[in-house]
Structure 1
Amino acid sequence: MSSGGSGGSGGGGLNWKEVVAILGVITGILVFIFGDKFLCNLKGVNVGFLRCDNPSERKAATETPALPPKFPPSSEPVKQDPIPFSSPTSTPSPAPETPAPVSPSPSPVKLSADEKPCTAEQNGSTVNLGSLERSCSFAGNVSSNNLENRYRFKIDNPSNISLFLDDVNSEVEMFLYSDRDGTGSIQYQLENTSAIKSRTGVIEQELGVGSYILVVKLKARDTPYSLQIINNTTQIENVGYLEDKTLTKNGSFNLKHRQKFYSFQLANPSSISLSLGGVNSEVEMVLYSDRKGTGVIQYQLENTSAFNSKPGIIKTTLRVGNYIVLVRSKLRDTDYTLTMSAP
């Protein structure tokens, strides 16, 4: 009887294995529908195969300090290697390097206000005068930054010219060259001289038709200068025939007007008299023959000087022809009176 009762009770109920199996099926269905989190939130449920988070572990994880970021936050600019200069998005160009010192432009050579302006075009340190028809005066300077100034001019007819260089405080050289075919290129040197503080540099030359270059050049230290370029032939005052006449000419000399040329003619051989006086400083007088009446000096015949204490006198007999008288200051400003006669 007892064995049969136990067997009956075993046949009417579920053993623990069956209960576990049924719970597993039910749990699987719930996990499938709601996921692990739903069951993990149910109190008293602690099924080993569920992937439930441990709250204490989460808290520890959140309290663990974050590692410093590998790069700065995106709100701050990120330093980058410079982009190649050719890129349109390149970094700002570096500050320009200080340029090497550049020699200042030469000071322009100015026409003197004491003379009528000559036709002149300036190109850098070169002044182009064109045809030299009269007296031209210039003020300029030479320095370590402007070693020389050039003056180019043309002679349309054979002429006697004079070049005067002064008003310097240091030695300055002056060179006269021929101009190769009017190209502005030096061909060969004709003459040269120097001016110093106590002495004027003078060049007097007969020039044929052609182009010429005058160079004023630094010799010692920086200095200003004054320059006169004169075509004496075009500046001659022709007094005409001298026979049976007595002519008187008055004038004065200064640094801008240093000399005066007069020409006369003789139709017959004549004795002539030239008297120079009324001066307060030495003034020179020179008599020349005139080459075929062109106003060009041929050769010297006579010369003398006038002083404050005595006049300068030239008396001679001349043949038929054309003659030139030069009156020239030797020292300082002075007036003069020139008397010419052929009685």
Structure 2
Amino acid sequence: MSSGGGPSGSTRRIRIAIVLGGIAGGLVAAANVANIGTWLVGDSVLCKFGILKCSNSPEPAPVASTPPTTVSSSPSPEPIKQDPIPVSSPTSTPSPTPETPAPVSPSPSPVKLSADEKPCTVEQNGSTVNLGSLEGSCPFAGNVSSNNLENRYRFKIDNPSNISLFLDDVNSEVEMFLYSDKDGTGIIQYQLENTSAIKLRTGIIKQELNVGSYIIVVKMKARDTPYSLQIINNTSQIQKLGYLEEKTISKNGTITLNNRERFYSFQLANPSSISLSLGGVNSEVEMVLYSDKNGTGVIQYQLENISAFNSKPGIIKSNLRVGNYIVLVRSKLRDTNYNLTMSAP
């Protein structure tokens, strides 16, 4: 027995047990009441009156089962198509400025021919132009550059002839060479003559050529530049006027950059005093009198020359022997008309 007035340890234990037992019994009773209530009225009513502790959030509705989506075997949608970006290829349309000149080949310029001129036949092969037999006047426009250092022109002479080469319309120095063609093979044999054209000076070559094949080379000297080239067989385009004694012959014509020279030939059956008058010009025009080599239309040597101006005609008077003669009318500055009168009274 403990000292003091308080209850003993065993008494306290008994009381605690009675309290715990009451609590347990209450809980059991409450659980039974809840179970009975749930059975009678359902959880929702008991929750409403606080008999059962329930979550404030309603239970989620059951998710209806969705049938599995059938995966189509077709490929995913194609992306939006865009126009293809053109890519340069050997078959694509060439650019306006080719990277490599084709080579920069000279294209023959169209020429209006008068009734007494013969057309110029042309066959292009890369940077080489084949003219075949050279007759009359053949003008060309071309260019030379660091990608295309030179252009070649090949031609044949079927009869001994005087030829003229004019190179101009350049903005930088350009060289021109005349070569013999070895057996017509296109292989250079030896050089006959060369000259240069610059911006304010025409490059000119004049030669008497025998029957054979020849090559002209136009070559860049300083920098890229266009050019104009005129190749003329003077002999083949001579206008033959026949005998001049006791008659007067007049010829009206035009000379241009594409047709710089006009040739006329006449004959004398007797020694004669002749008169040549050149007028009707609006620019300086040169007139030259030559002897004709054996009546072949080939210039032998110069006899006289003079120039006509818009304010003054050019006149040549000379005593000539029996023979054949050639008169040349040549442009000195620019395009002009002219009137040539020849007589041997």
Which residue of structure 1 lines up, in the alignment, with residue 243 of structure 2?
Answer: 241
Q: Is 1:105 aligned with 2:107?
A: no
Which residue of structure 2 lines up, in the alignment, with residue 225 of structure 1?
Answer: 227
Which residue of structure 2 lines up, in the alignment, with residue 193 of structure 1?
Answer: 195
Kindly state the Cα deviation for residue 109 of structure 1 after the two structures are TM-superposed: 1.6
* TM-score when normalising by structure 1: 0.69
Aligned with 1:234: secondary structure? Answer: coil
Matched residue type, 2:123: E
Q: May I ask how many residue pairs the two structures share in their alignment?
A: 243
After TM superposition, the structure 1 stretch with the greater mean CA deviation from structure 2, 113-122 or 141-150, is: 113-122
C-alpha separation between the residues in 1 aligned to 2:120 and 2:232?
Answer: 11
C-alpha separation between the residues in 1 aligned to 2:320 and 2:338?
Answer: 24
Deviations 1:283-337 (A, max 9, x none): 1111001011110001111111111221111101111110000010111111111
Kindly state the Cα deviation for residue 103 of structure 1 after the two structures are TM-superposed: 4.2
Which residue of structure 1 lines up, in the alignment, with residue 332 of structure 2?
Answer: 330
C-alpha separation between the residues in 1 aligned to 2:223 and 2:139?
Answer: 23
Deviations 1:75-105 (A, max 9, x none): xxxxxxxxxxxxxxxxxxxxxxxxxxx8443
Contact 1:115 1:136 in 2 (8 A): no
Matched residue type, 2:282: N
C-alpha separation between the residues in 2 aligned to 1:265 and 1:305?
Answer: 23
Deviations 1:133-191 (A, max 9, x none): 12111111100000000001110100000111111111111000011111111111111
Matched residue type, 1:181: D
C-alpha separation between the residues in 1 aligned to 2:173 and 2:130?
Answer: 25
C-alpha separation between the residues in 1 aligned to 2:178 and 2:101?
Answer: 26
Alignment of 1:1-343 (within 5 A): 103-115=100-112, 118-343=120-345
Cα distance, 1:319–1:297 mapped onto 2, change above 3 Å: same
Aligned with 1:302: secondary structure? Answer: strand
Contact 1:115 1:137 in 2 (8 A): no
Q: Which runs of 5+ in 1 are unaligned?
A: 1-101
C-alpha separation between the residues in 1 aligned to 2:185 and 2:132?
Answer: 13
Aligned with 2:236: secondary structure? Answer: helix
C-alpha separation between the residues in 2 aligned to 1:259 and 1:217?
Answer: 25
C-alpha separation between the residues in 2 aligned to 1:201 and 1:289?
Answer: 25
Aligned with 1:181: secondary structure? Answer: helix
Q: Which runs of 5+ in 2 are unaligned?
A: 1-98, 114-118
